[in-house]
Every structure is written in C-alpha cells, then in structure tokens.
Amino acid sequence: MTVRETLLMPRPRQFETDTVIDDAIDLFWSRGYRGLSMDDLVRGCGVSRSSLYSIFSGKRELFLACLERYRDLNVPQTLGGLDAPDAALPEIESYFSGVIAELTGDGRRGCLVINSAAELGAEDPEVARIAWAHLKMLRDHFARALRNAGARGQIAAEALDPAAGASLLMATASGLILAGKANPDRRMLRAIARSALQAIGARA
C-alpha cells in the first residue's frame, strides 16, 4: 500500500493530519531524518504520541508522507515558471536564480527531496522512488523549456540536444543544492549555473 493510499484510509481523526504533516516537514527539512526521534516529532508537532500513531505507524511513514506533500505543495512554488507549457530559457534561468537565492538566504535548507535522497536514497527504495520522480519531473520540464528555447533562437541550434541538456540541468540543479548547503558562496553557485547554461548552448 502506498503512502497516498494509507492517508486516504478512514481512521480516527484527533487532529488535522495536514497540519501535523506540515509541522513535520519543517522539522525534517531543518534536521534531516536521522536527526529526529519520534519524541522530537511529538513535541515539535504538538500532538500526543497516541494521536500520531493513530495515523502513522512510525517515523518512517510520517516522513514518507512529508516527502509526498512537500513534492506536491512546496516544489511547484520553487520552479520559477519552469512548469509552464511555454517556458523557455528565461524560466530556466529564473529557476536557477531562485535556487541560488534560497541557498544563500537565512534558511539555507535546500530541497527536502534532494536532501533526503542524499541522506537515505541508497538504502530506502521508497525514498529513492520519490526522489527520482522529483528529478524526472525537473528533467521533463527542462527538456520542454529547451525545445521551446531552441524554437525561439535562445539556444544555439547546433548545440541543442534537449534530452541530454535536460539531464545535465537536472544533475546541475541537484548538485547545486548540495553544494550550496555545504558552501553558500553566491559567486560559486552562479558560476556553476552559468557553466551549465553555456554547456547547453544558451546564447549570451
């Protein structure tokens, strides 16, 4: 049974599930999966242990629900228009600018899905599945934007390979997030993004 199917099952409701998940997202995003105990989550979410267990079987199930909700609600806000059907080079640039702004701001938390893939993806197949779905979504958006950019002359036609370019941008985005968490140097991060755009043939 998937996390979504579990959440849809009728169960006793002693609190608002989405609110608890939102609170837990903030905790996992700040401290990671291994950095939290169930007691931390009970205190941080402001619910009793029995209430939490009435919905989730344990920390892992709550964590997976957080990843799904984060991907559905938080990720679209970070795309900078990249998910629009007519997105092209400006939206690709806007996406990277937004990532860099977040990484060099006060929070510096990066992306919960990418962070979780780095922490758990090699050992937890469900985390890996959610992370890959996120990365594939990014790759698909990049590919469409590159095709649009090529049609508008924003990308050098001889350099354009939307599939390969999209994979490069996807890898750059995830690497940028991890690099930024370790060293939030705005100049370095901009150079990484600029190099990726130059590699796909973006016109100056």
- Split into its structural domains, the chain has a count of 2
Query: In this structure, what token pair is assigned to residue 183?
Result: 């060293």
Where is the domain boundary, 71, 90, 124? 71
Q: Residue 34 is part of a domain; what is its CATH number? A: 1.10.10.60
pLDDT of 8? 47
Q: Where are the alpha helices (DSSP H) in the chain?
A: 3-8, 17-31, 38-45, 49-53, 59-69, 75-78, 89-103, 112-120, 125-151, 162-182, 186-199
pLDDT of 151? 92
Neighbours of 114 (CB within 10 A): 21
- 63 and 88 fall within a common domain: no
Q: Residue 105 is part of a domain; what is its CATH number? A: 1.10.357.10
Query: In this structure, what token pair is assigned to residue 83?
Result: 């998910």
- 47 and 121 fall within a common domain: no
pLDDT of 14? 43
- 201 and 133 fall within a common domain: yes
- 112 and 22 fall within a common domain: no
pLDDT of 3? 53
What is the distance between the alpha carbons of residues 94 and 84, in angstroms, rounded to a whole number? 12
- 65 and 142 fall within a common domain: no
Where is the domain boundary, 41, 71, 101? 71
| Locus of tokens 């924003």 | 154
pLDDT of 12? 44
106: exposed, middle or buried (C-beta count within 10 Å: 0-12, 13-18, 19+)?
Answer: exposed
**Contacts with 74 (C-beta within 8 Å, 6 or more apart), sequence order:** 25, 112
The series of mean pLDDT values per 10 residues for the chain, 204 residues long, is 51 69 96 95 92 91 96 90 96 95 86 95 96 96 95 83 94 94 93 93 73
- 49 and 130 fall within a common domain: no
Angle CA(37)–CA(65)–CA(105) in degrees, nearest 5? 75
pLDDT of 106? 79
pLDDT tens by residue, 184-202: 899 999 999 999 999 988 8
Q: Which domain holds residue 129?
A: 79-204
- 126 and 198 fall within a common domain: yes
- 143 and 201 fall within a common domain: yes
- 203 and 142 fall within a common domain: yes
Nearest to 6 by CA among 78, 71, 54, 77: 54
- 48 and 135 fall within a common domain: no
pLDDT of 108? 80
pLDDT of 107? 72
Where is the domain boundary, 71, 97, 130? 71
**Contacts with 197 (C-beta within 8 Å, 6 or more apart), sequence order:** 89, 92, 93, 96
- 60 and 20 fall within a common domain: yes
